[in-house]
Amino acid sequence: MTSSPSAFDEAWARFQQLDALLLAGDTLEHEWTRGRAQYLAFLARLEDPAARAYVSRVQERVADIPGVELYPDWYWHITVKGGGFQVIKRTHDDDVLRQDVPRIAAQARGLLAREPAVQARFGLANGFSEVVFIEVHDGGRVRELNTLLTERLPVPRYPIDGAGIFLPHVSIARFTSNQGLAQLKEALAALRREEPGPAFSISRIEFVKVWLSEPMPEFDTLATYPLAAATPR
């Protein structure tokens, strides 16, 4: 399983065709949340200094575009697997009962204990309808972790989960209006003509609760899973 460059190219082609963006307020109140605020996720924070410096430089290139709102540096991460919404009473397929969360965290520890650290490299700047992002190319490792957690944990399967669909990335900005859409497309196109970003390692995965009710989503870390040292080649 690989993070095919063609899949990212297809995402870029779709972004270029957009006439309107999915704005931040719509994202937080989108149909998928259905009034729920406590979202569970497995993610890897971006900790490598060179990778973080690269994200900062890319953000500078889009910072002054109208309607673009940068994510703060503490937010930078790669989502590995969405875990559903923590609730007291289940009413939707992707609800997870609060009392089941510790069991999910414990099961994930067993699954991830022997997984090697992920060796990755930033690809090009890109866009989804709701965010600006930087591609992550990792030989399919994040997809493998996504598939492992999807198939082995009692958590919801989302349409983006699984081989051939899931695209690892770091979101760097969201949208507050459509005012700068044309300018944004031009800026991202210019960035895509430049060299990709640096290589970096992912040495741990976190299980977090994301508070979507806040103006900027906030993370509470529920568990941390160190990954094993990569096997020398």
- Domains of the chain, by residue range, sit at 5-221
User: What pLDDT sits at residue 1?
Assistant: 38
Q: How confident is the model at residue 49 (pLDDT cuts 50, 70, 90)?
A: very high
- For 50-57, which contacts have Cβ atoms below 8 Å and span 24 or more sequence positions? 50/198, 50/200, 51/122, 51/197, 51/198, 51/200, 52/76, 54/122, 54/134, 54/197, 54/198, 55/134, 55/170, 55/172, 55/197
* CA–CA dist 165, 104 (Å, integer): 24
Q: Give tens-digit pLDDT for 69-127.
A: 999 999 999 999 999 999 999 999 999 999 999 999 999 999 999 999 999 999 999 99
Question: Looking at the domain that runs over 5-221, which CATH code has it been given?
Answer: 3.90.1140.10
Q: What is the mean pLDDT of the chain?
A: 93
Residue 28 has a pLDDT of 62
